[in-house]
Amino acid sequence: MSADLPYRPRRRFSALTRRILAFNAIALLILLGGVLWVQSNRIGLVEERIAGIRDQALIVAGALAEYTADPERRAIEPMQAEPLLRQLISPTHLRARVYSTIGRLQIDTRNLLARNLVTTETLPPPEPSNSFTAFFDRSVASVERLYDGLMGVRPLAHIEPYFEAGQNGRVYSEVNQALMGETGSSVRVNEQDKLVLSVAVPIRRFATLYGVLMMTTESGDIDDILKAERTALVEVFLVAFVALLFSAVYLAGFIAAPILRLAAAAERVRRGRAGRDAIPTLDDRNDEIGELADSLSAMTRALYDRIDAIESFAADVSHELKNPLFPLQITVENLLRAREHSPAEFDEVFRESAKTLLAEVGNLKAIIERFSDFSRMPTPELQPVNINEVVRRAVKFYEPQFCANGRPAVTPRLQLESSLESLPISADPELLHRALANLVLNALDAMPEGGTLSVRTSESNGNIRIEVADTGLGLTAEERRRLFTPYYTSKQYGTGLGLAIVQSVVSDHQGKIWVESEKGKGTSFIIELPKFVD
């Protein structure tokens, strides 16, 4: 295991948890800020209110001009106008003032209506008794001003202050506009940071100006409505934030905790402190994290299997290479002794030794080739083939080579049988040829002189069946069980690499192979492969 990678200790709150919380909070803050921004720019609310006041002012001004105007003096008659204003203004919660044509105040409903006879003013707080209390009160006041500024119709915007003009109405710009025959309006803020909306309209009858009617808000109703909306919005935001906090923590735990668990298990594997089952499978998770855990667990087991195979491979390579090296060493030593002690017999010893050396070098080469073949098995390139042609080729390939290797005159008899002329399968012909040739060669080597080797092909239950049967000595139950194990050595079939390669090729072709044998009654290797279907 590599130990050069830095180990990252497990943190109480993972980066994933912090990111989930941060992004959820940012999304909620953006939503809240967007709503507040929309509300902070609700100029339409002010304009709607001003338009409503303007309509009311025009109605009241029309009534005053119709019933209280004195055509001779071109002025409003206060004695007649006061009861009319009292009736018209009382339900509107507005303040109305009537100015003459020169801008002098004639009537103020604040002096007429009962709701205006008592006024309230906010008194300053009492002086604090100590410096800490004073600092705390100043901080609270600053926060309140900031809150009022943010909660206003136009947050932190500079608005003209409202003031009482007394008897002279010309100090109001909207009154001056009305005296010129136009409707005027203004937006101001009083000492309590509440909006005061004013609308002034001319009092006219038959194009004659009799005065100016100015109507203003007094209750700060727009501010109260908007503040109530924003207070409710903040309350909803706080509730949503708490819900977001709990959901984000749950989500982070649901996602981050198992990932941290997998990371810790992987770290234990990396440091060599755990076995092949160190990665938890998280069977209770039916999601992508569960699939990740299953994949990591399977990958870990596969890696351990591969490590075990490599270790076994190295051990078997060492063992197998010792077998031909030992006779090579003995032969060379005998050759050297013959040269020193028996020079006359050296030529004969040299010839025999050379034969032995060549034979053992051939064995060594064959062992190396088998190991090389097993470690570099290619991926099959499937194509439609006739299995009978592959079988014939494998049988014919080894028949002459077998008879030419110094075998006795009485050699095993080869029989090729097939139930059908054409048995199509989807296979890689070269890999399948190598596998079948390996079985044929193993059977020829395992049989005694004069034995019979039968290779049969047939169709069985929709599959193609290949049987390589010999009349050899047969196998024990233990040999049958371990015969296909890589590197297992059998007395009859040699190193288990060849049969392991055959099993690997058959598996790559989606088939299966097994052996049937009894001691003293021969052995049959049976392969079943799926039939090719167009």
pLDDT at 73: 87
Look at residue 439 and tell me whether its pLDDT is greater than 60. yes
Look at residue 306 and tell me whether its pLDDT is greater than 70. yes
| Burial group, residue 202, by CB count within 10 angstroms (0-12, 13-18, 19+) | buried
| Percentage with pLDDT > 90 across the chain | 15
Give the pLDDT band of residue 159 (cuts 50, 70, 90): confident
pLDDT per residue as tens digits for the range 135-151: 666 676 666 666 655 55
Q: Please tell me the distance from the alpha carbon of residue 393 to that of residue 489, in angstroms, as a whole number.
A: 27
pLDDT at 412: 61
pLDDT at 289: 76
Taking residues 424-428, what's their average pLDDT? Answer: 87
pLDDT at 402: 53
Look at residue 90 and tell me whether its pLDDT is greater than 50. yes
pLDDT at 172: 93
Q: Please tell me the distance from the alpha carbon of residue 259 to that of residue 282, in angstroms, as a whole number.
A: 11
Per-residue DSSP letters for 293-357? Answer: HHHHHHHHHHHHHHHHHHHHHHHHHHHHHHHHHHHHHHHHHHHHHHHHH-GGGHHHHHHHHHHHH
pLDDT at 410: 47
pLDDT at 328: 72
For the chain, give every domain's residue range: 11-41+220-271, 54-118+125-218, 275-376, 378-530
pLDDT at 93: 82
Angle at 320 between CA 358 and CA 363, to 5 degrees: 20
Q: Please tell me the distance from the alpha carbon of residue 174 to that of residue 404, in angstroms, as a whole number.
A: 125
pLDDT at 84: 92
* Residues across the chain: 534
List the one residue out of 51, 54, 47, 49 whose CA is nearest residue 221.
49
Average pLDDT, the chain: 76
Structure tokens at 440: 């044929």
Strands 413-418, 424-427: pairing kind: unpaired
Q: Which of 42-51, 109-118, 425-434 has the highest mean pLDDT?
A: 425-434
pLDDT at 9: 47
What is the DSSP-derived secondary structure letter of residue 116?
Answer: G
Give the pLDDT band of residue 212 (cuts 50, 70, 90): very high
Least confident of 32-36, 38-42, 95-99: 38-42
pLDDT at 10: 47
pLDDT per residue as tens digits for the range 292-304: 788 877 787 777 7
pLDDT at 313: 65
pLDDT at 184: 93
Number of Cβ atoms within 10 Å of the Cβ of 233: 15
The C-alpha R_g of the chain, in whole angstroms, comes to 53
Look at residue 6 and tell me whether its pLDDT is greater than 80. no
128: left (phi over 0), alpha (psi -120 to 50) or beta: beta
Homologous superfamily of 54-118+125-218: PAS domain (3.30.450.20)
pLDDT at 135: 64
pLDDT per residue as tens digits for the range 71-87: 888 899 999 999 999 88
pLDDT at 106: 92
Taking residues 121-129, what's their average pLDDT? Answer: 55
The model's pTM is 0.41
| Percentage with pLDDT > 70 across the chain | 69
Give the pLDDT band of residue 251 (cuts 50, 70, 90): confident
Higher pLDDT, 466 or 354: 466
Dihedral sign for Cα 219, 222, 225, 226, please.
Answer: negative
Coil, strand, or helix at residue 161? strand
List the one residue out of 176, 216, 181, 171 whose CA is nearest residue 195.
216
The CATH topology of domain 378-530 is: Heat Shock Protein 90 (3.30.565)
Taking residues 395-415, what's their average pLDDT? Answer: 59
Taking residues 386-393, what's their average pLDDT? Answer: 87
Asked whether 155 and 177 are in contact (CB, 8 A), the reply is no
Asked whether 248 and 24 are in contact (CB, 8 A), the reply is yes
Coil, strand, or helix at residue 167? coil
pLDDT at 257: 76
Look at residue 28 and tell me whether its pLDDT is greater than 60. yes
Asked whether 261 and 280 are in contact (CB, 8 A), the reply is yes
Q: In sequence order, which residues have a C-beta less than 8 Å from that of residue 361 and are 6 or more positions away?
A: 324, 328
Structure tokens at 41: 């720019």
Give the pLDDT band of residue 377 (cuts 50, 70, 90): low
Q: In sequence order, which residues have a C-beta less than 8 Å from that of residue 504 and are 6 or more positions away?
A: 374, 377
One fold for 54-118+125-218 and 378-530:
no
pLDDT per residue as tens digits for the range 462-517: 889 999 988 888 887 878 787 777 666 665 555 556 777 788 888 888 899 998 88
Give the pLDDT band of residue 54 (cuts 50, 70, 90): very high
